[in-house]
Copies of this chain bind each other. A is one copy, B any other.
Amino acid sequence: MAPWCHFPCRLDSSTLTDVLEIAFRPDRTSEVPMARQLADHVATLVASGRLAGGSRLPASREAAIALGLSRKTVSAAYQQLAARGLAAGHVGQGTYVLRARAAPAGALRAASARAPREFAWGGLFARLPPAPAAALALRRCERGGPSPYDFRGGRIEPSSLPLADLRWAMGHAFRSRAGLQTLAAHHDPAGWPPLRREIARLLVRRGISCDAREVAVVNGLQHAIDLTARVLVEPGDAVVMEQPGYFGAALAFAARDADVLGVEVDGEGLRTDRLARVLRLRRVKLVYVTPATQSPTGVTMSAARREALLALADEHQVPIFEDDYDNELRYAGPVQPALKATDPAGQIVHAGTFSKVLFPGLRVGYVVAPRVLLQRLVAARAASDFGSGVVEQAALAGLLATGALDRHLQRARRLYGRRMAAMLASLRREMPAGTRWTEPRGGHVVWLTLPSGVDADRLHEAALALGVAYARGEVFFADGGGGEHLALSCAAVDEPTIVKGVGRLARALGEVASRGRPQVGSRPAVRDRPAGRRSNGTQRAR
């Protein structure tokens, strides 16, 4: 037991409560138990001389109310202080701070002046909604650093970039004082007007006829999703996403504390029959889709599904967010017009980006929306960072106006088309029976479904050990499922490396499969697909 010695004194305990209350910042995210945090805090106050020996600590009930803690927590903290010899209490008499015994008070105070305690930020942070399971999965995939066979995506092939055009475009703004004057004068948070006009022109290809005033420039597609979520979604609102679906969208909706509802994807894209069921049961604030090249499966939404989706959106008067991130990379088959091309009521938000077709560090994207919505999106973005950088905007406008971007896209389609073909050929050659994958006609990513019973954790370890990195399926499931899938991106891997990497992945798969197949936690790997059809991006079994 701690030594007992009381120093009752006349200090007003309500003043003490104030001291504790003002200075104490409980960190509810910390692993340190709350009682321990409070005990440490009082100990610091004593050590720094702010709380004199002999002060009577407020009654646990009083302190609990003032600090917003349970009485049990406060009592536990007082007991810990007693155990450390810093306080003493007795039933009916209250708890008292013990006079510091060894060092004189002056010395303690001087020591605290030399090395002040660290500011307690922990208790000041605004409450955050819980991150989706996908965020954790994402961090797991980012572990391990660079790999020789890196199929994780998110990067590009630098050798594909039009260096001279980019150098010209980026320096372009500073070619003359007149050009600079224009840049300095224009700083519309909706974007640099010439770029907005070029984007409106570009969209004609996607079947969208819009006015430059319906286009806003944003910092990439993630920004478009984030702004739309901020403007439309309130905590608890239901938002529909494809499942599997783009993790960035899941993060943005989760950050608004939305109730994210996943609707299954098959070889024709979003299952609109399932969507219909959801819309009948729940009032949904937004349906987020990637119809051109579904992320991550690479499936292109069929015409029938598009019609069904538009009809459902009309019936339930629900807006659609069309993420058109990768539409320019199309290798085969007809290009479907954007959903936004059929939007007479102005119900669809359409967003695209230049980060995918050029390089990820170019943070320029765009959003097309009815003006009443666009106005709010622009206001939200203006209050946040005033607008996108004008140099990058001017450079892009130059690349668009001169046709340099188009020439680059032609090369990029050939390059990535070859990589995708190499990836699919290698999968056919190497993958064991029971493995299935999509056959995308655009984009960079193949979605692979493991033979049933393969342990995803063990496969991931075995693959990393052989130098193969990929994105695990859980990254694309907001609810933590999806372990039986992988996403393989060919964006930053050349053809010989693709061939070798897929071979190594197959080896890892063989090793893990031969070690036994635990059935626990596995999910049915078969997705519904119209039998006997091989449309773009359907699953293929081998």
Q: Which A residues are within 8 Å of any B CB, using their own CB? A: 22-23, 25, 115-122, 124-127, 154-156, 158-159, 161, 163-164, 166-168, 170-171, 173-175, 177, 180-181, 183-187, 218-220, 222-223, 226, 230-234, 248, 251-252, 255-256, 283, 285, 314, 316-317, 319, 344-347, 359-364, 370, 372-373, 376, 383-392, 395
Q: Decide: A373 and B121 in contact? CB cutoff 8 A.
A: yes
Q: Decide: A219 and B177 in contact? CB cutoff 8 A.
A: no
The residues of B that contact A125 with a CB separation of less than 8 Å are 231-232, 376
What 5 A-B pairs come out closest when comparing CB atoms? A361-B390, A219-B385, A223-B385, A119-B347, A167-B174
Q: Decide: B345 and A364 in contact? CB cutoff 8 A.
A: no
From A186, which residue of chain B is reached at the shortest CB distance? B361
Bound together, the chains give a CA A154 to CA B173 distance in angstroms of 20
Q: Decide: A220 and B386 in contact? CB cutoff 8 A.
A: yes
Q: Decide: A180 and B163 in contact? CB cutoff 8 A.
A: yes
Q: Decide: A230 and B159 in contact? CB cutoff 8 A.
A: no
Q: Decide: A234 and B127 in contact? CB cutoff 8 A.
A: yes
11 A–B pairs (Cβ distance < 8 Å), ordered by A:
A119-B319, A119-B346, A126-B230, A126-B231, A163-B174, A163-B177, A167-B174, A222-B386, A223-B386, A255-B383, A363-B386
From A314, which residue of chain B is reached at the shortest CB distance? B116
Cross-interface CB contact of A185 among B25, B155, B252, cutoff 8 Å:
B155
The residues of B that contact A156 with a CB separation of less than 8 Å are 184
Shortest Cβ gap from A302 to chain B (Å): 23
13 extra interchain contacts, Cβ-Cβ under 8 A, other than A184-B361, A251-B383, A361-B389? A118-B346, A121-B319, A155-B184, A158-B181, A170-B171, A170-B173, A170-B395, A219-B219, A222-B383, A222-B384, A223-B386, A248-B386, A391-B395
Q: Decide: B383 and A226 in contact? CB cutoff 8 A.
A: yes
Bound together, the chains give a CA A385 to CA B351 distance in angstroms of 14
Bound together, the chains give a CA A157 to CA B345 distance in angstroms of 45
Q: Decide: B384 and A226 in contact? CB cutoff 8 A.
A: yes
From A146, which residue of chain B is reached at the shortest CB distance? B185
**With A319-B119, A389-B362 as given contacts, are A234 and B177 in contact (CB-CB < 8 Å)?**
no
Copies, count = 2
Cross-interface CB contact of A359 among B183, B223, B360, cutoff 8 Å:
B183
From A376, which residue of chain B is reached at the shortest CB distance? B125
Shortest Cβ gap from A37 to chain B (Å): 14
Q: Decide: B317 and A23 in contact? CB cutoff 8 A.
A: yes
From A192, which residue of chain B is reached at the shortest CB distance? B361
Bound together, the chains give a CA A347 to CA B380 distance in angstroms of 29
Q: Decide: A119 and B183 in contact? CB cutoff 8 A.
A: no
Q: Decide: B361 and A119 in contact? CB cutoff 8 A.
A: no
Q: Decide: A283 and B383 in contact? CB cutoff 8 A.
A: no
Cross-interface CB contact of A345 among B119, B163, B230, B370, cutoff 8 Å:
B119
Cross-interface CB contact of A232 among B126, B181, B364, cutoff 8 Å:
B126
**With A345-B117, A386-B220, A392-B391 as given contacts, are A372 and B122 in contact (CB-CB < 8 Å)?**
yes
Shortest Cβ gap from A416 to chain B (Å): 15
Bound together, the chains give a CA A362 to CA B154 distance in angstroms of 25
The residues of B that contact A384 with a CB separation of less than 8 Å are 222-223, 226, 252, 384
**With A22-B316, A283-B22 as given contacts, are A234 and B126 in contact (CB-CB < 8 Å)?**
yes
The residues of B that contact A181 with a CB separation of less than 8 Å are 158
The residues of B that contact A163 with a CB separation of less than 8 Å are 174, 177, 180
Bound together, the chains give a CA A319 to CA B283 distance in angstroms of 42
From A24, which residue of chain B is reached at the shortest CB distance? B317
Shortest Cβ gap from A153 to chain B (Å): 12
Bound together, the chains give a CA A317 to CA B256 distance in angstroms of 29
The residues of B that contact A220 with a CB separation of less than 8 Å are 385-386
Bound together, the chains give a CA A164 to CA B317 distance in angstroms of 54
Q: Decide: B364 and A389 in contact? CB cutoff 8 A.
A: yes
Bound together, the chains give a CA A428 to CA B396 distance in angstroms of 47
Shortest Cβ gap from A366 to chain B (Å): 13
Shortest Cβ gap from A164 to chain B (Å): 8
Q: Decide: A385 and B222 in contact? CB cutoff 8 A.
A: yes
Cross-interface CB contact of A317 among B120, B161, B180, cutoff 8 Å:
B120
The residues of B that contact A115 with a CB separation of less than 8 Å are 344
